[in-house]
Amino acid sequence: MDFVSIRIITADVARLAAFYERVLGGETRWATTDFAELLTPTCTLAIASTRTVALFGADSARPSDNRSVIIEFRVDDVDAEYRRLEQSVDEFVQTPTTMPWGNRSLLFRDPDGNLVNLFTPVTADAVARQDR
């Protein structure tokens, strides 16, 4: 089984897609005005309108209601990413900090309040875990 994507449901697909374009440095691929994707080398970030929720079952997902999932992206240099995004992100939860498990992490919220973590493995153990 391969993990291939995560989908965020939002009331404003264009706003969230533009935010993630700035964060990821990529271009949005639009299927419809209600569904967009940003591709990374390892996974796809899909962004869908609240209008698509009915296709999965009424009230199966609610926008701006996540407090249990962290969307994570491995980057080459967390500190450089912080400097690059400092003016683009409205809410930083944590500036670059080295975590006990060896990753240097930057946590912030996207415009819908979803928690995003950019991280760089910095200890030998953390780097080894990433090489699996």
Q: Write the DSSP string, 20-78.
A: HHHHHT--EEEEETTEEEEE-SS-EEEEEEGGGGGGT-TTS--TT--SS-EEEEE-S-H
42 burial via Cβ count (<10 Å: 0-12, 13-18, 19+): exposed
Mean local confidence (pLDDT), 124-130: 91
For the beta carbon of residue 128, count every other beta carbon within 10 angstroms: 11
pTM of the full structure: 0.91
pLDDT at residue number 132: 63
Superfamily of domain 67-132, CATH level 4: 2,3-Dihydroxybiphenyl 1,2-Dioxygenase, domain 1 (3.10.180.10)
Which residue's entry shows tokens 């419809």?
Answer: 32
Express each pLDDT in 60-96 by its tens digit.
888 888 888 999 999 999 999 999 999 999 999 999 9
CATH class for the domain made up of 1-57: alpha beta
pLDDT at residue number 56: 85
Residue 15 near residue 63, CB atoms below 8 Å: no
Query: What residue ranges do the domains of the chain occupy?
Result: 1-57, 67-132
Mean local confidence (pLDDT), 7-30: 96
DSSP class of residue 11? S
109's tokens: 């919220």
> In the structure, what pLDDT confidence band is assigned to residue 58 with cuts at 50, 70 and 90?
confident
Which residue's entry shows tokens 């683009």?
Answer: 88
